[in-house]
């Protein structure tokens, strides 16, 4: 089962309306309602929709940290 997440606000009369869901009329769905904490998700949304740029994506990372790659003066040549 695939999940679909949407954020909505309860109206003054206690009604919850969710528009634009990716389901057809007559589909059976399961609805779980969780209260969003005030601080939860605010930080995550800061980067949502921002472009991702990779700088040198194929370069080695921390290559000098690998002890196997370190050259030792006592190792035979």
Residue with tokens 């030792």: 72
Enter the DSSP assignment of 39: S
3-state class of 44 per DSSP?
helix
Question: Measured between alpha carbons, how far is 11 from 18 in angstroms, rounded to an integer?
Answer: 12
* Residue 8: both structure tokens together: 């909505």
Question: Measured between alpha carbons, how far is 31 from 8 in angstroms, rounded to an integer?
Answer: 13
H-run or E-run covering 45: helix 42-45
Confidence (pLDDT) at 47: 77
Does this model's pTM top 0.85? My answer is: no
Domain ranges of the chain: 1-49
* Residue 30: both structure tokens together: 């399961």
- Series of mean pLDDT values for 10-residue runs along the chain (77 residues): 85 90 91 77 71 86 73 56
């Amino acid at each position: 089962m695939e999940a679909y997440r949407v954020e909505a606000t309860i109206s003054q009369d206690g009604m919850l309306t969710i528009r634009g869901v990716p389901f057809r009329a007559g589909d059976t769905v399961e609805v779980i309602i969780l209260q969003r904490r005030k601080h939860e998700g605010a930080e995550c949304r800061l980067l949502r929709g921002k472009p991702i740029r990779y700088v040198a994506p194929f370069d080695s990372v921390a290559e000098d940290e690998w002890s196997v790659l370190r050259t030792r003066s006592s190792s035979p040549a």
